[in-house]
Amino acid sequence: MRKLDKPVIGLTMGDVAGIGPEIIIKALMDKEITKLCIPVVIGDLNVLIETDKYVKSGLKFRKLSNLENFEVDDVVGCIDLNLFPDGFPRGIVSKAAGNAAFRYLEVAIKLAKEKKIDAICTAPLNKEALHKAGFFYPGHTEILAELTGTKDYSMMLSTGKLNVIHVTTHIGLIDAINMINPKRVYRTIKLANDTFIKAGLQRPRIAVCGINPHAGENGLFGYGEEEDKIIPAINEAKKEGINVYGPLPADTIFYRANRGDFDVVVAMYHDQGHGPVKVLGLEGVNITVGLQIVRTSVDHGTAFDIAGKNIADELSMITAIKKAIELAPTKQ
C-alpha cells in the first residue's frame, strides 16, 4: 500500500517515438528506486506494455484510477491518457507524439499543483514534434513556467560536483547575448543562491561566467559586455551578502567548479553551460529552479536513431529520479 513516508514521483513519458518509455522501464527495474519512492508513470499504458515486449523487465503495469491507495511492490502504476490505443510511432517526428508529450506534462503539473504527486521527473520530448502539434515552446522548462505561472525560473544541470544554472537557454547565440542584461544575470544568481540555501548550504559559492574569451580581459575582447551586462549584477548580489565570484573565464571556471572550488556556475548561454556537463558523461540531471513544484529530467534528447532497439542507457533517468526524490517535500 502507499507509504506516506515515501514521496510520489510522477514520471512523464516524453516523446514516445524516442527512448523515453524504454529508459523509464529500465530505471524502474532498479530496486533502489522503489525503496526510495512511489513511482507513477504518466502516459500511455499501451506504450509501456508494447515497449516491455523487447525490454523484458519482468515488471507488471496497471492503470491507476486514483493515487491514494495502491500496491507498489510488484506493480508499476500508470495514469493512462490512452492517446495511442492502436500503436504508436517510433524513431520519427510525429505530431501525435508531440501532442502526447505536452498532455502528459500538463497532467503531471496539475497533479503536482494539487499535491497528489510530490515531484515530476520527465523523459525527453522532441521540440519539432511539439511544434507540429501546435505547442510553440522551446522545451519542457518554458511549458512548466507558463503552466505554473512562474516568471523567474531557470534551467540547472547537475552532475557529480558540477552544477550549472543558465541565464539564457533555448535561443540562438546572437539573440542570447542580446537578451543578457544585469537584471537577468542578477535574477539567475539569486535563483542559484536560493536553491542551494533550500538544499542546506548556508552560503553557497556562486561563480559567474563571462561572455567573451578570458571574460573580456578588461575590454580586450568583445565590446564591454562583461562591464555592461554582468558586473553590475554581481555587485548588486554582493551588496545582499551573496557569495558570488566573477565574471570568470569560461575555459577554466568549470574545471574549478568540478574540482570543488564552487557550488554552482552561472552560464550565460546554452552551449556554454551544457557542453561541460555533458562531456562528463550520462549522469547529468536537468532541474528547473524557481518553480513552486519540483521538476527534474534527463539531460539528453529523444535519441530517435536508437528508439526500439533496447540499447538506450537509463543512467541519467535513474539519477534524475533520485534527484527528484532528494528535492521532494519531506513526508511527515
- What tens digit of pLDDT does each residue of 189-227 get? 999 998 888 777 889 999 999 999 998 788 778 888 999
Mean pLDDT of the region 33-39: 92
Angle at 237 between CA 224 and CA 200, to 5 degrees: 135
Q: In the chain, which segments carry CATH 3.40.718.10?
A: 1-151+281-332, 161-279
**% of the chain surpassing 70 pLDDT:** 95
pLDDT of residue 59: 94
pLDDT(2) > 60: no
Model confidence over 257-291: pLDDT tens digits?
A: 999 999 999 999 999 999 998 888 767 899 999 99
pLDDT of residue 261: 97
pLDDT interval class at 38 (50, 70, 90): very high
Q: Give the type of residue at 211.
A: I
**Domain 161-279 annotated CATH 3.20.20.140:** no
pLDDT of residue 1: 41
**Which grid cell is 205?**
559559492
Peptide bond into 247 cis (omega under 30): yes
Q: Give the type of residue at 252.
A: T
Model confidence over 91-138: pLDDT tens digits?
A: 999 999 999 999 999 999 999 999 999 999 999 999 999 999 999 998
CATH hierarchy code of domain 1-151+281-332: 3.40.718.10
pLDDT of residue 332: 42
Mean pLDDT of the region 152-167: 90
Mean pLDDT of the region 142-157: 92
pLDDT of residue 282: 64
Length in residues, the chain: 332
Report in angstroms the alpha-carbon separations of 270 from 116, 156, 157, 165: 33, 11, 11, 10
**Can you tell me the distance from the alpha carbon of 172 to that of 214, in angstroms, rounded to the nearest whole number?**
22
Mean pLDDT of the region 313-319: 94
pLDDT of residue 219: 79
**Can you tell me the distance from the alpha carbon of 235 to that of 143, in angstroms, rounded to the nearest whole number?**
32
pLDDT of residue 75: 82
pLDDT of residue 270: 93
**Which grid cell is 43?**
502516459
